[in-house]
Amino acid sequence: MDLQDQLKNLFPDHVPSNEPEETEEIAHELYVQKEPMICKYEKRKGKATTIIEGYEGSDEDFKILAKEIKTKLSVGGSFKDGAIILQGDYRDKIMKMLQDKGFKTKRVGG
């Protein structure tokens, strides 16, 4: 007894449709701003951290951007108080990544 037969036993009145469901995925557009985003280097508890601030769009867009940066660089980090905090000094890589997306960046510290 395969899955279709089991479903027919459970739901005898159901008529299966052979048409595949159509779902459209809309690409998410990030808000590109006029002011530059700030990439800072700080030491917190003796460890290097990179902080990205100055995004003027919505917090949800900034969280999506934070997740994308963290996965591409394979680093840990968090999103707090309108800033992305990453473990390690990755300013050059992050700035290049943001510039490729059309953002202006500014390097601060060190």
110: confidence class by pLDDT, cuts 50, 70, 90:
low
Instruction: Give me the CATH topology for the region 40-109.
Output: Translation Initiation Factor Eif1 (3.30.780)
Q: Where are the domains of the chain?
A: 40-109
Residues whose CB is less than 8 angstroms from the CB of residue 62 and which lie 6 or more positions away in sequence, other chains included: 55, 79, 82, 84
Question: Two tokens at 54?
Answer: 């100055």
Q: Indicate the SS3 state at residue 35.
A: coil
Q: For residues 47 and 24, give the distance between their C-alpha atoms in angstroms, rounded to a whole number.
A: 44
Instruction: Summarize pLDDT for 20-63 with one digit per residue, the tens.
Output: 666 555 555 666 677 888 899 899 899 999 999 988 878 888 88
Q: For residues 8 and 84, give the distance between their C-alpha atoms in angstroms, rounded to a whole number.
A: 51
Task: Report the run of H or E that residue 43 belongs to, with start and end.
Answer: strand 37-44
